[in-house]
Structure formats: C-alpha cells, structure tokens
Amino acid sequence: MELMNLASKETSYWMLALPAVFGSQNLHDVSILGYLLLAVVSLSLLTWALAGGGGIAWKNGRNRLGRVTIPGPRGIPVFGSLCTLSRGLAHRALAAMAWSRANTEIMAFSLGSTPVIVASEPNTAREILMSPHFADRPVKQSAKSLMFSRAIGFAPNGAYWRTLRRIASNHLFAPRRILAHEAGRKLDCAEMVKAVSAEQNGVGSVVLRQHLQLAALNNIMGSVFGRRYDPMSKDQDLDDLTSMVAEGFELLGAFNWSDYLPWLGYFYDPLRVNQRCSELVPRIRTLVKRIIDEHRVSNSDKKGDIGDFVDVLLSFDGDEKLQEDDMIAVLWEMIFRGTDTTALLTEWTMAELVLNPDVQAKLRDEIKTAVNDRADVADADLAKLPYLAAVVKETLRLHPPGPLLSWARLSTSDVQLSNGMVVPKGTTAMVNMWAITHDPVVWSDPLKFNPDRFSENGDVDIRGGDLRLAPFGAGRRVCPGKNMALATVTRWVAELVQRFEWSQDQTNPVKLDEVLKLSCEMEHPLRAVVTEI
C-alpha cells in the first residue's frame, strides 16, 4: 500500500519495477535506489554540461588538445547525438548539422560513450583517409561475431591485415585476373539480358534489382568459388547463400545501440543481434567449408589466373598459408561485399538513365560507335567509352553507395591536423562523402545529373586520388575491389543500354528516395519498361 502511494507520487512507472529487479522488499530499499538513480542522473547531467562541444564522449577537454578546438554539437546527456543518427539518413542529418554550424572541416559529436569526428570537405577528408594513424577501424559487435575481424575489412592494421591485402591484390583484384574472368562476366550479363527480356514480355515491365542481385552473386561466386547458379534449377545452395547474405546485411547494417552504450546490451537488444549472429555463423561455416573441401578433393590444377580464389588460397604454403577459419572469414567477406555494392550502383545508374533519356541516347550512340555493331561489349571496349565512365562517375557522385564511406576509421594515436586541431587517440573518424559530393562549393549545380561535367571541367580520379569524389575511400584501406566493381558495373550498364531502351513505367514512376542500410539503396526498387533494340 505504502509502495502504491509512493509510486503514485512518482512520475516514472518503472520505479515500481526496481524492487522486483533488485529483489528488495521494503520501501527503504526503494528510496535508496531512488537516491542512487538521482545521483547517477545528476552526475550524467553535470558531465554533459561540463563536456562542452562534441558532447558527453569529449569530456576532460579532449576536443581542446590542439591549438584549435574541434567544434561540434553537444547532443543530449548519456546518448549524445545517438538519437539523431540512429534512424533515417545519417549522412543527410550529419551534412545538415555540419553545414548549419559551418563545421565542415571537422565536427565532433558523441555516439553514446564513443567520441566521433566527421569530415565533410575534401582537404580534411584526405588527411584522415591518407594518415597511417587512421588505418584501423572500430569493430562493431556484429562484425566481430560474424568473423569479420579476421577478414580484410576489420582486421587491425598489422602483419595479418597486410598479408590478406597482398593476397587479395595479387590474386583476386589484379587487372590480369579481372581480365581473365571476362568470360564469366559475359555469361552473367547474357543471363541477365535474357531474364530482363522474358520479364518484359511476360509482365509488361521489369524490376531490375532481382536480376542484378543474381548476376552480382554469380559474378563474385564465379571468381571466388568457381561456381555459378542457375535460378531455374532450384539449387539449395543458392537459396541458402541468398538468405545468409541477406541476414548478414541486416545484422551488420543494423544500428545496434549497445555498440555505443555497452551497458545497454544487457537488457536491450530488440533486434536480437547477438543471438542471430550466433545462429548465422555455423551456417556460413558449413557452406563455405563444404566448398573448400570440394576444392581440396578435386585438387584442381586450374591454378594461375583462371583458377578461382579458393584454389589460390589452398595453394599457399609458409607465411601466406591461412588457417581454415581465417580462409572462411576472407571468402565470406568477398561474397558479402561483392554482391550488394555492384548491384545497387547499377540500379542507381539505370534509374538516372530512365529519368534522363537524352543522356541515355547519347550513351547508346557512344556504345554503338565503339563496338561497331558487334553483338556484345568486350572489356577492351570499355576504355573507348569515356561517356559511359562519366555516367557511372556521376551516379557515384549523386548516389555514393557508402555515403559515409561504409566503414569508419579509428585513430591509433593523437593526430595533429594541418588546421591546428588534434584528434585524440581512440576517436572514430568518418568522412561524409555524400556531403562533399553535394556541396555547391565543391560541385557546381550539385543536384543535377550531368555526366558532361567530367569532360567540361576536367576529369576526376575516383579511385582515391581526388577527395572531391572518392566513393571507394582512399589511402591504405581504400576499397581493394574498386577495379572489379567498375569493370562489372560499366559492362552491365553498357549491355543493358545497348540491348534495350529504358523508359518510365507510367504506373510506377521512378523515385530516387534513399534507404540507408549497410549501403545506401533505392528505397523503391527501379521498375521500368524496356524495348528491345
């Protein structure tokens, strides 16, 4: 009864639950807990008030280590800017914050207890990405659980990571290897063209995404595992793989509050991230291990450029020989990274071509002239198609698949920047590539889809050399798959434009709304009407 009276005086209903949680029986205990809670809340408020710019994770003057203070929003007590960035389009929210505060060079903020900086202009972005002191990455719980910390993307900067990068650069992403797998890309493309044609004839319009996703999976499975899937043949492995990749994307892309507020994980895990990760890992292990074992048994002699990546990994001895679990992590990472990025970049490109029929027509003319009415486009033709390259670049500018460059970096020491600011050790560093590519100071008329800008105002190296447009990142952790991705996407776009004219489906007009998952996708899958040429 007393308890009820007390509860009725209190505004927070959860006070009622405290005795149950702590097993206390009497009001005295509840009062003590109340005071304790009050003390914690007051302390949080005080720390937040004293923390100043950047918020709670920047306490003790961490943003004032240099000659110039790193500015930034304070956010709210305990959570910092977590609530603003946990939903919706974080790249847009961060850009709006940086622009409105004129903090584009660097802005400090807090994600719970994690201190974060974000650069939204090319010069500081370059300093961060190129610095050896930012060559580590913060590792999310889901990435750790899904074995990614043993793969290239999240392995700490050191001997193991360097070995993995060297193996991948020499044996998976080297230009001669990409060229050697041209036949596979051609095959995937031919299958996709057939499927697009069949869907148009059957349904009267085409949803491109599903065809791109299958082609992307086959492309990566072909060069990594040496196998491709036929959707018609009801292959169990294909179903398993597709569902595992989808689950992995959801888990890695999910905003997990306990990555930033570790104490929260004990009682709040609405997406069941930990449980789902531990269910997924054995499935990945079983599938990838089976494929490795099949390669061992077949003792494939297709070594060299035409062999697949599993053959390559199995052929190593000495320093380069990987443990089986490490092999599984590296192979899984390739499937995982190689599938969505290429598919969604192609989808964005085709959406822009539907909305810009004059660009589409100009591109088709260029392709026709270059391939000379041959049946299909060859890799060698791609060098003769500067307008095609410009169309893909312009899509990467307007719709960078990783608007915040997907994976953040972590400072491994206090880093002095040329503007006089010092970024303390242990800070998570992001580059808002979306903000840079949409900044009217950097790009004139930034919202307009205009591939001609690259011929009118000089070309731009998109592979990490020019931070005005670096969708693959830059520096020693730049995307190693960039050449493979560009070879694949340009070929697909070339063939899709050479074979078909793409126009709006009047009942489902193209919408360019974004949804930010692991990558930034079209919220409404592209549906278009195609006419065979």
Q: Which amino acid is at 7?
A: A
Contact between 65 and ligand HEM per CB under 6 A: no
Output the DSSP codes for 212-248: HHHHHHHHHHHHHHS----GGG--HHHHHHHHHHHHH
Size of interface with ligand HEM, in residues (CB under 6 A): 29
95: helix, coil or strand? helix
Instruction: For the segment 203-232, give every residue that binds ligand HEM (CB under 6 A).
Output: 220
Instruction: For the segment 483-522, give every residue that binds ligand HEM (CB under 6 A).
Output: 484-485
The answer to the question of whether 520 is labelled as a binding residue is no
* Residue 51 beta carbon to ligand HEM: minimum distance, rounded to whole angstroms: 28
* Residue 127 beta carbon to ligand HEM: minimum distance, rounded to whole angstroms: 13
* Residue 521 beta carbon to ligand HEM: minimum distance, rounded to whole angstroms: 12
Pairwise CA distance, residues 336 & 152, whole Å: 12
Short-list 352, 389, 316, CA closest to 526: 352
Contact between 395 and ligand HEM per CB under 6 A: no
Element (H, E) at 279: helix 273-298
For ligand HEM, the nearest residue by Cβ is 473
Cβ closest to ligand HEM, residue 30 vs residue 436:
436
Q: Residue 136 carries which DSSP code? A: B
Copy the structure tokens of residue 135: 């060559």
Q: Cβ(114)–Cβ(260) under 8 Å?
A: yes
* Residue 73 beta carbon to ligand HEM: minimum distance, rounded to whole angstroms: 24
208: helix, coil or strand? helix
Contact between 363 and ligand HEM per CB under 6 A: no
Pairwise CA distance, residues 479 & 471, whole Å: 9
Site string for ligand HEM, 301-340 (x = CB under 6 A): --------------------------------xx--xx--
3-state SS string for 157-199: CCHHHHHHHHHHHHHCCCHHHHHHCHHHHHHHHHHHHHHHHHH
* Residue 19 beta carbon to ligand HEM: minimum distance, rounded to whole angstroms: 49
Cβ closest to ligand HEM, residue 74 vs residue 140:
140
Whether the CA torsion 526, 527, 532, 533 is positive or negative: it is negative
Site string for ligand HEM, 157-176 (x = CB under 6 A): --------x-----------
Contact between 346 and ligand HEM per CB under 6 A: no
Copy the structure tokens of residue 29: 């205990």
Pairwise CA distance, residues 83 & 92, whole Å: 14
Contact between 391 and ligand HEM per CB under 6 A: no
Work out which of 142, 213, 258, 342 binds ligand HEM, going by CB under 6 A.
342
Work out which of 70, 107, 129, 215 binds ligand HEM, going by CB under 6 A.
129
Site string for ligand HEM, 428-457 (x = CB under 6 A): ------------------------------
Q: Which residues contact 91 (CB under 8 A, 6 or more apart)?
A: 403, 404, 432, 434, 435, 516, 520
Contact between 424 and ligand HEM per CB under 6 A: no
* Residue 462 beta carbon to ligand HEM: minimum distance, rounded to whole angstroms: 9
* Residue 327 beta carbon to ligand HEM: minimum distance, rounded to whole angstroms: 15
Whether the CA torsion 140, 145, 148, 149 is positive or negative: it is positive
Terminal Cα distance for the chain, rounded: 82
Pairwise CA distance, residues 248 & 142, whole Å: 9
Work out which of 214, 221, 291, 405 binds ligand HEM, going by CB under 6 A.
405
Cβ closest to ligand HEM, residue 424 vs residue 480:
480
- Other Cβ atoms closer than 10 A to 228: 18
* Residue 17 beta carbon to ligand HEM: minimum distance, rounded to whole angstroms: 44
Contact between 184 and ligand HEM per CB under 6 A: no
Contact between 122 and ligand HEM per CB under 6 A: no
Whether the CA torsion 137, 143, 149, 151 is positive or negative: it is negative
Contact between 140 and ligand HEM per CB under 6 A: no
Work out which of 117, 152, 328, 528 binds ligand HEM, going by CB under 6 A.
152
Instruction: For the segment 463-482, give every residue that binds ligand HEM (CB under 6 A).
Output: 471-475, 477-481
* Residue 335 beta carbon to ligand HEM: minimum distance, rounded to whole angstroms: 8
* Residue 11 beta carbon to ligand HEM: minimum distance, rounded to whole angstroms: 46
> CA-CA distances (angstroms) from residue 97 to 80, 90, 115?
14, 10, 16
Pairwise CA distance, residues 327 & 335, whole Å: 13
Binding site: residue ranges? 479
For ligand HEM, the binding residues (CB under 6 A) are 129, 152-153, 165, 220, 333-334, 337-338, 341-342, 345, 401-402, 405-407, 471-475, 477-481, 484-485
Binding site for heme: residue ranges? 479
